[in-house]
Chains A and B, each alone.
Chain A
């Protein structure tokens, strides 16, 4: 459509919408047999048909959460199998199974039964390895799903609570993973538990009591394995399933968010119905995820505890690393300098352990959890948002997100400082120092670079809408001048680039009212105005129809429009959307050649100040 077309209301958008079809009438539509029996007793027809007709939008990034959901199902399934053979006991036995190198070695029943699952239970190893791989898949997909939700602004009203539930789920998932890999009581995980006991001891005042309560006495004791087992197979899964159910119910209640695009509005949801399309796609996807996990478990060994041997407090292997999702916490421990341990009045305050081990993780998750509330306070925006942001259109948020990820990744890689030192032949001390410096320097830099990239991308969108796409065709005019032909964007493509709104920073209010009396709460408002300007001061407005019309007017006045460079389009207030010719500097007066941005001819990207 041309920019001067008569405005239409929102209702006109739906003129061509396809609504869900009512069920077919006739004898086949009658619920019969088992379905009829169930409906007679539960009245399920209406809710079931509502759910089956539910529309889900389509996008690859919406599958990330699905991967987490399906990994959880795989974990529950294979985990249940493992409990049939695993013995959660620290009782000492002498190994006499079929793995020769361990014969005659004393070990816990937990370790022995895990070795038995791996070597003597038919198909036991494949179930164990599927379980462990699925756990890694679960945690990574939750993390990447969180990134998607954050960068697209899907956490905004009305989904703040679901974001909080999601962050709690993520935190529980990594702790569920830790309790799980600690169960086999092998040398590697036992060293991890030893460190965990050290973390508890570092708690100010209560540390030693906490450690003795959790471990049922001195480390390692016989209580921790059965206790971890209960936590791993009952307590945490129950909470995770409960919260996951709430998470998914809220998704259904809110209806899924969708990416902006032609036909997508904030008060519709456009996609495919659950029955039959998503039953097949999502159901099929479950089998694909399960299949990939099984293939990984078949072909790539994971956690070969028989090579580590049973736990013993005295030996240790070099290169001890936790599973990847605990890497950031381990990295924090490696980077936090020792001088944070203090000795005051005869007591020891071991902040060098307490902060990185027990404060950093909850702190990171708390900041993530409250972010939606911070952002909605800054914007003052209390409206519902069902259309996602393109990350470039929220440069500050995207920058903050990348900043957080870079912080996390530096901690993560710091947990491998010893491996990096060995593989690259560098000094471990230099690497550790470098990570310490990077932890402070890189995140702000990542924020700044990301924000600039986002704004450049916005300006590129802006340019694309104003000047169209280069066609690669060059046209020579009668006078001998050359022009590149630019093709305007089709309306459906253009919409995605111009649909977003930009927010302007809040202005600080006067500190005194009309009568010269100090107003209450102005300090808070000034702070809010400052944060708001941090967020929105350098926004790039999307192209408006007026800007586009004026750009085309310029183009047609100075240049020639392909369709009729004899007369027609010259000076027309309604330029035809056939094509624009962009020449070099030569068609303009020489004084003007490089000054188009200053003299306002080309509106260009303007900052929304």
Chain B
């Protein structure tokens, strides 16, 4: 069976662990518990009639992404950059992370996830900013680990991109 490594990166408290939990266990908790170190989860998905084992590296969020953390990304086939749609500062952090990652892994596919979209009254990231990133070639999806909106689609979409890369 094909095995693919996906890394989740982003600032703290954006919902990385909740997204993994929603995707792998279909569960959610409102309580925020910071992730220390790295948590690795596994799920088998079917992409284009093929079973693929996805190894998800949930990397504990910090606003600084030191060079040493790039070792966690070794062997990854794709990555998800997660922002909290109610905190505009988290977008600046993933833009910085993406610059660093792209330097070492230029051809690895990624998707930016606008998480916590269920909190519609508190959105803090402007649509114009997202549109600007889209114009620059970023793939962006809206998700909510709480409601499940877009979560399955985000992981399977990235998995499909990774397989396309494998084929090519």
Q: Do A and B bind each other?
A: no
Measured CB to CB, the residues of B under 8 A from A are none
